Structure 1
């Protein structure tokens, strides 16, 4: 009886240590997937102060994903979700702290957490990112982990590790400077539209820089078609410096996808298949930035409109110097593009 009890205890401890099912550990049929990936860069990911990572567990989970072993994946994912939230935060942070976009297949928990991960990576402090992971219910945590493992499973661990090392060694990123700071430093009073008490009925659109647009189409990294809207300057002060000052769009080099920001809205009219304007709405749902307004209604091609209806989102990119695709390529090559994925608002 004592011998059987000792065997059960050893099997239980082996199951806890390896993440294998108890029945497999008891029968001595556990297996490993080799080679195990090198995850030595994982502790560089900001994952919460003083929290120890289980690198062996992480390596076996990644190896099981690459081998496509579903039983091992299910067992190890459950163990990470229930017992190793810091390890989960590090595995996910290595992906979403370094990649510029999550992709359209990502779950809602991943979309919500990715900006926190990027902020943590840039600041080198992961307490907030860990706290968000620790507060997730098990379904949300599992969704985040599964999304991250899709990237680890592609065999690009060395690429992720190098991206983590590069990000960890880089100085904190600074936001674009306000072009008016130079005037303020010289003692010159500077007023913006927000400082002015405009009379009711005054249209502030023409008091700011404006843009023109032209439509196009691109594809997501997963190969899904996506409508695109490209901005070009219509007023003298419009351009990349103006967009940097008025938006928080990402710098984009024609590769991958920028973040989705549903506060940016492309308004479209169903009746005549036309676009009305591109605006940003504040927390109260009021327009606070208007970059483009259609001067007249122009019906769009049926196939592009159909794509817009299916996608419900649009890649907005700019500025380019002229309304042509060659200008878009040129701006991307020189790093002078900003981009965001906006929501389409149909009326």
Structure 2
């Protein structure tokens, strides 16, 4: 693991929020909004939501709507989330205030990160004042008077936290350069299946704990770097390089849904991708993807030994709580490898969340 390089992401022109429209469910928006299509389980813990003080405006927040919104966000059900979010923006803005207030008022101990929208960063101090006074009249009133786009930004930032827990630190990244969607390559085993050849997976073999699946898949090493977001905020960065012969761009395309990235703007944040860091010795432990059940289903990198991080890099990691993960580069020793891979269109990237253990 190298830790001696620094780079700056090229700035892009006009800022705009990126919103993925790919639906993961066949439910119509109308049925989803009405709650008649399906129910997302389990129902969320709303203790932080319930702690948000009343506004006294005679416009109560809708607790059921909030619960359904959070559950849809955690299930990554885009039709339900978009329909319910529109309902909250149009007819129940106190619900938006309560969801955001639970995150940013200090009840959850969180402050907007570098990637939160300007709306959220500007509103959060009013949320903290509301919690301190036990009265959300001013904070809720500000949400009621916001433009629709501002309410959308505030709610998206809040749901990004709620989608992770009750709620946990997270952040919604502003994507500054829109790239065409990338199709995941077809599974090469499909050709065998279509030919009638039986294909066995590791799950089929039921090897239990006797075999460490990490060593049966391509693996990577990491190089520590630093970058700046397009608005000038410092951010930690990990660059992946192949450690095994079968690791590389084709493997990452098959195992991840990361974006092709050319060093312009910021890729999307994917909260299911986690960089695990251990507080006791200030070290990185791994890069993984977790499934809906919270269990690791993809492990791209695992620390072979404990290496304490430089103090400045650890402090930056602690502040940002997100990492720009980029790869693969062919050689970690070549200072021009990152730029060359980006120029060749052979670079994938994602903003991963940091999990401290």
TM range (shorter): 0.5 to 0.7
Contact 2:276 2:287 in 1 (8 A): yes
User: Aligned-pair distance for 1:148?
Assistant: 8.6
Match of 2:209 in 1: 200
Match of 1:344 in 2: 354
Which of 74, 87, 91 is the equivalent residue of 1:135? 87
The 5 A counterparts of 1:265-280 are 265-280=274-289
Higher helix share: 1
User: Aligned-pair distance for 1:306?
Assistant: 0.8
Match of 1:210 in 2: 219
Match of 2:255 in 1: 246
Contact 2:182 2:259 in 1 (8 A): no
Deviations along 1:90-130, one digit per CA (max 9) or x if unpaired, are xxxxxxxxxx9x98xx9xxx78xx222xx38xxxx998597
User: Aligned-pair distance for 1:248?
Assistant: 1.0
Q: Give 3-state SS (helix, strand or coil) of 1:288's partner.
A: strand
How many residues end up aligned between the 2 structures?
216
Which of 338, 341, 352 is the equivalent residue of 1:331? 341
* TM-score between both structures, scaled by the size of structure 2: 0.53
Classify 1:143/1:238 alpha carbon distance in 2 versus 1 (closer, same or farther; 3 Å). farther
The 5 A counterparts of 1:37-48 are none
Deviations along 1:233-280, one digit per CA (max 9) or x if unpaired, are 111111111111111111111111111111111111112221111111
Task: Give 5+ residue unaligned stretches, structure 2.
Answer: 1-11, 31-78, 97-142, 154-176
Question: Which whole-Å CA distance do the structure 1 matches of 2:182 and 2:214 have between them?
Answer: 32
User: Aligned-pair distance for 1:223?
Assistant: 1.3
Match of 1:146 in 2: 150
Classify 1:202/1:242 alpha carbon distance in 2 versus 1 (closer, same or farther; 3 Å). same
Question: Which whole-Å CA distance do the structure 1 matches of 2:228 and 2:190 have between them?
Answer: 39
User: Aligned-pair distance for 1:195?
Assistant: 3.2
Which of 229, 239, 244 is the equivalent residue of 2:238? 229
Question: Which whole-Å CA distance do the structure 1 matches of 2:276 and 2:348 have between them?
Answer: 20
* TM-score between both structures, scaled by the size of structure 1: 0.55
User: Aligned-pair distance for 1:173?
Assistant: 6.3
The 5 A counterparts of 1:100-179 are 114-116=19-21, 119=22, 128=79, 131=83, 134-138=86-90, 139=93, 142=146, 145-146=149-150, 174-179=183-188
Question: Which whole-Å CA distance do the structure 2 matches of 1:203 and 1:236 have between them?
Answer: 19
User: Aligned-pair distance for 1:295?
Assistant: 0.5
Match of 1:287 in 2: 296
Question: What value does the CA root-mean-square deviation take over the aligned residues?
Answer: 3.4
User: Aligned-pair distance for 1:315?
Assistant: 0.6
User: Aligned-pair distance for 1:133?
Assistant: 5.3
Q: Give 3-state SS (helix, strand or coil) of 1:253's partner.
A: coil
Task: Give 5+ residue unaligned stretches, structure 1.
Answer: 1-99, 150-162
Classify 1:201/1:230 alpha carbon distance in 2 versus 1 (closer, same or farther; 3 Å). same
Question: Which whole-Å CA distance do the structure 2 matches of 1:200 and 1:137 have between them?
Answer: 48
User: Aligned-pair distance for 1:219?
Assistant: 1.3
Contact 2:184 2:254 in 1 (8 A): no
Classify 1:279/1:144 alpha carbon distance in 2 versus 1 (closer, same or farther; 3 Å). farther
Classify 1:174/1:293 alpha carbon distance in 2 versus 1 (closer, same or farther; 3 Å). closer
Work out which structure has the larger RCO, using CA pairs closer than 8 Å and 6 or more positions apart in sequence: 2
Match of 1:31 in 2: none
Question: Which whole-Å CA distance do the structure 1 matches of 2:294 and 2:85 have between them?
Answer: 29
